[in-house]
Structure 1
C-alpha cells in the first residue's frame, strides 16, 4: 500500500467523485459504508486509499485532504498502518474466515489474512480517527461472507468505515449494496491521462498518447502500456487474435485453436498497479490464465471489434482506439458487416459477464470462440 497516494490531489481524473469525498471529510458526515465502482484500472483502489487516508487523518484540511504529517498519515505513507485494512480475494473469492475467527481456515493462509474484522473492529483506533476496511473486489464475497457483514455494516462502531470496490453496483449482493453510499468512477478523458503520463512520469508523448487511447479511460491500464513493453505487445497480439476471428473459417477446430491462443495471451504477466492513478491489483504469476487477465483480454477484443463496427458504420478513423490498424479494421468491417459485428460484440460481452460470475476460464474461452466462429 505504500506506493498508493494518500492525497486526493494525487489522483488523476474523477473530479466529481473527489468533490463528494472531500465534502464528506470536511463536513464530518461520514457514512458507514461506501461502494466505489468502475472498470479495472480506472482507479478504484487509488481513490479508496486516498479516502481512507483522509478518514483516518487526525488533522484533515478544511478542503477534506489528509494532512500528511500526523501519526496516522506517516504510518500510511510507510505502508504500516494497523488500522487501515485491505481485504483481497483468496483464490478468487472473499471468504467468511477472512472476516471472522471461528471458521475453517486453509493451512496455507497467513495469519494477517484471517479474521481481519473480528479481531480489530471492537478496538477503538489508537493512531487515527477511524478504522477503515477496504474490500478490493467486493463482487467476490461469498454468500456466507456477505451475510455475515450485513449487521456490521448496518450498525458498526462509530469509528469504523467500510469501502467496497467492484466493477458495477449490480455485481455486489443487493443486501450489501443497499447499505452503501454509491461512488461511481467513470472513464478519465484520454487527454487528461496522456498529460498525466507525460508531466508526472516523463513518458514520451507519442507513447503516452497511444497508451492513453488504448486504456479507454483507465489510468492504470495506460500506465501499464507506457511502462511495461509486454502490456503493449499483449494488446497488439489481441488485435491479431481479433483479426483472426474476423477472417478464420467457421468450425470447431479453428475455434479451439483460437481459444488456446486467447488463454495463452491471458497468462502473460502484466500489472495494473499504478502509484498515482490506477488500481493496485495482483497480476498473474503463473502460466495458467487468470480470470482478471481474461477479462482484460475480452476488453481488448471488444475495443477492436467496436472499432471495426465504427468503420462499418462510416465512422472517421480518428474515432478508433486501435490507431494504426485501420487497414485490417476496414477489411474486417467489409467481411463481417454491421449485423455480424454487433452479434460479435454481444457475444463477447455475454461471455465476459459469465467470467465475472465465476465461469470456468477454459470453458468460457472455448465457448466464446465457438460462438464467434459459428455460421
Structure 2
C-alpha cells in the first residue's frame, strides 16, 4: 500500500503528486527534475484530506522509492518522527511573526539524510499579516533542498504573493460512497452504519469516522439537529443558544485541561522549580515568569480556537439541515445529508417557504462571521437562534 492510501476520491491530485515525486527523485540523483518546485499549496474543503495529502507527498519526497508506504522513511513521516520533516500545527487563533521567523531559521538547514528538508504547515491560513510577509521571504529565496507544503481551505486564504509562488494542489469533496467504502475497509464499520455517517459528514472524512465510531459524537449531532423544531418561543431560543455555547466550552475544557497542566508543569521544571541550592529555585522560576505568561496566553488562544471550532461544527450541521429543507421544498432529486432525520426535514419544509430557509441559512452564516470577529458567543448564537425561529 503506497503513502497515498489514506486519500479518498483524489485520483487527479495523487497523479500530480506522483509525477512531482518522480521529478524530485531526478533532482536528488543530479538531474534537472522538471515538474518539481519548492513550494506547494494544498487546498480543499474541510475534511477532504489537505494535511493527509501533504504528509503523503512529504513521505514520497523522502522515500527512495517515491512513497512505497513500508520503508523506514515512510513510517517515520507517518508517525511524525522523521528528522527532515518540520510539522507546524497552529494551536491558537493565529500564528505569529516571531513563530514564523523561528520556523524560517529551522527550514534553512540542510537535510539530515541528504534528500529534502520538508516544512509541512497545516492551517497556513492562520498566519498573521506580518507572519505572512516573513513566510513570503522564505518562499521567495528558499535553500536548494527545502520544500514548503502549505495547507489552506482556499487559495484565496493566502496572500496573493505567497499563492503566486506555490503550485496549487486542489482536493475535491469525496463522494458519499467512497467515504462509506473507506469506513468499511479501514475501520470495519458495517455498510448500514457507514453510509449514514458518510452522508451526514458531507465529505468530511474525519467527521465521518467520528460519527461512525463514537456514540458521543452522534449524540451531540442529534442534539444540534433537534434545535430547528425546538425553537417555539423566545425562552427556547435562549436555552438552545446557552446549550450550544456550554457544550463548546466543555469541549474546550476537555481538550485542554490535562494538556495545559502538563505543559505548565514541564515549563516550571525547565526553569528550575523544585531544584535544590540556595536561591536557585527562586531565581530560575522568576526568570521563567515571562515564559509562563507566554504559555498561558497560547493556552487561552488554543482554548478559544477549540471552542470556536466546536460551535462552528454545530452551525455547519444546521446549515446542512436547512440545505436538506431547501432541497425538499424545491423537490430536488439530491441525496439528503440528514436522511436519518427526514421527518424533521419535511416538517420544517412544509411549515416554511424557500425564502424563509434561505434567510435562516444566511443567519447561520452571519453567526459564523460574528464568531470569527470575536463577538461574544452567547450574544451571537442567541441572535442566530432567534432568526431561525422567525421566518421572514
Alignment of 1:188-337 (within 5 A): 188-245=174-231, 248-249=232-233, 251=234, 254-267=236-249, 269=251, 290-315=307-332, 319-337=335-353
Which residue in the other structure is 1:60 paired with? 65
- Structure 1 SS opposite 2:8: coil
RMSD: 2.7
Please, which runs of 5 or more residues in structure 1 have no aligned partner?
101-114, 272-283
- Whichever of the two has the greater Rg, that structure is 2
Which residue in the other structure is 2:83 paired with? 82
- Structure 1 SS opposite 2:353: helix
- Taking structure 1 as the reference length, the TM-score comes to 0.80
- Taking structure 2 as the reference length, the TM-score comes to 0.77
Please, which runs of 5 or more residues in structure 2 have no aligned partner?
25-34, 255-300
Establish whether residue 41 from structure 1 lines up as the match of residue 47 from structure 2: yes
Question: Whole-Å Cα distance in 2 between the matches of residues 32 and 68 of structure 1?
Answer: 25
Which residue in the other structure is 2:12 paired with? 16
- Structure 1 SS opposite 2:149: strand
Check 1:367–1:168 CA distance in 2 against 1; reply closer, same or farther (3 A cut): farther
Shift of 1:177: 2.0
Shift of 1:223: 0.7
Question: Whole-Å Cα distance in 2 between the matches of residues 174 and 82 of structure 1?
Answer: 31
- Superposed CA deviations along residues 186-207 of structure 1, whole A, max 9, x for unmatched, are 1111111111111221112211
Establish whether residue 32 from structure 1 lines up as the match of residue 38 from structure 2: yes
Establish whether residue 338 from structure 1 lines up as the match of residue 363 from structure 2: no
Check 1:69–1:355 CA distance in 2 against 1; reply closer, same or farther (3 A cut): same
More relative contact order, 1 or 2 (CA 8 Å, 6+ apart): 1
Check 1:268–1:177 CA distance in 2 against 1; reply closer, same or farther (3 A cut): farther
Question: Whole-Å Cα distance in 2 between the matches of residues 307 and 126 of structure 1?
Answer: 52
Check 1:78–1:235 CA distance in 2 against 1; reply closer, same or farther (3 A cut): closer
Shift of 1:149: 1.0
Question: Whole-Å Cα distance in 2 between the matches of residues 357 and 55 of structure 1?
Answer: 39
Structure with a larger share of its residues in helix: 2
- Structure 2 SS opposite 1:319: coil
Establish whether residue 365 from structure 1 lines up as the match of residue 381 from structure 2: yes
Q: Are the counterparts in 2 of residues 6 and 54 from structure 1 also a CA contact under 8 Å?
A: no
Shift of 1:13: 1.9
Shift of 1:52: 1.0
Shifted more, 158-167 versus 207-216: the winner is: 158-167
Which residue in the other structure is 2:71 paired with? 69
Check 1:207–1:286 CA distance in 2 against 1; reply closer, same or farther (3 A cut): farther
- Superposed CA deviations along residues 45-86 of structure 1, whole A, max 9, x for unmatched, are 1111111111222x134xxx346425x334324531122111
Q: Are the counterparts in 2 of residues 289 and 361 from structure 1 also a CA contact under 8 Å?
A: no
- Structure 1 SS opposite 2:144: coil
Q: Are the counterparts in 1 of residues 83 and 112 from structure 2 also a CA contact under 8 Å?
A: no
Establish whether residue 96 from structure 1 lines up as the match of residue 107 from structure 2: no
Question: Whole-Å Cα distance in 2 between the matches of residues 54 and 288 of structure 1?
Answer: 32
